[in-house]
Amino acid sequence: MISEEAAADSLVVIDTRGGYKDYFRSHLPRAHHLNFDTLRGTDLGVPVQYLPDVLTRPLLVRAGVHREKTHIVYATGASLPNDEILSASMVAYVLEKFGVEKILLVDGGLAQWTKANLPVTQAYHGNPPGLLPDAGNSAIGIAIDELMEIKDREGVVLVDARPANEYAGDDDIWLRKGHIPGAISFHWARLMEKENTHKFLPIARVRDELEKAGLTPDKEIIVYCGTSREGSLLRFYLRHVAGCPKVRLYEGSWKEYAALQQYPAETGNTTAR
């Protein structure tokens, strides 16, 4: 159990919820609150871009991220439209990018935890300063220049993790409508239980859907979404549940792409490659 000191010394528990009052109400024992959005900010006018490594590194150290410890990451977990799972998968992505290898997401989130009558607390917990790995793993991400160079190659699948209406361009959100030409649509929520969006469906339940979409281990898969949170969830599942070895996240995602007027956008429910 997390509450046992012998085990806790080897664990870092991270509550990633954006609402600090949610943390105040209750959280897992020994959970350190790391608001996922502290890892992002506006860059060159584009909102919610990942911070430069030089800024992210001290934030992770301050949160107690440690190269030799196991990191338990979680958020709330609830039915749609709740998407708190995306904050957990985004933080997990950042940890992995910085070279952390031992990362676990609480399947079902805080909702499943409390349903199982496991202990929660209101007591604050501050981790001691962490120690990051010497080398990161930046290869799990991809930038716009390389994306545009390789996205149409044989064996490469570009997948948009947003809801189908945003993919099609039927929304009131984005600067430009639609999706990156050639991208297929696969909404991240298709991988989650309907009554708890923080609980993963077993691979046996979704393997046929993934194969039909071309999301298979033999492919080089690039995922994106609106701000990279949805894409981080899809990437996590494909890499760590479905066992696809070559999955990368376009960190800029649609928020960045839409601002780059030199690149075309495609609307409609096409999945043409």
Q: Tokens 């993919």 identify what position?
A: 167
Separation CA 27–CA 111 (nearest Å): 10
Contact (CB, 8 A) for 140 and 50: no
Separation CA 184–CA 11 (nearest Å): 38
User: Which residue from 193, 163, 167 is spatially nearest to 266, judged by alpha carbons?
Assistant: 167
The one catalytic residue in 73, 86, 225, 249 is 225
Separation CA 257–CA 103 (nearest Å): 30
User: What is the token pair recorded at 205?
Assistant: 């339940």
Catalytic site includes residue 225:
yes
Containing 148, the helix (H) or strand (E) segment is: helix 144-150
Separation CA 34–CA 90 (nearest Å): 12
Cross-strand pairs, 184: 159
Half-sphere exposure of 128 (CA within 13 A, CB side): 7
Catalytic annotation, residues: 225
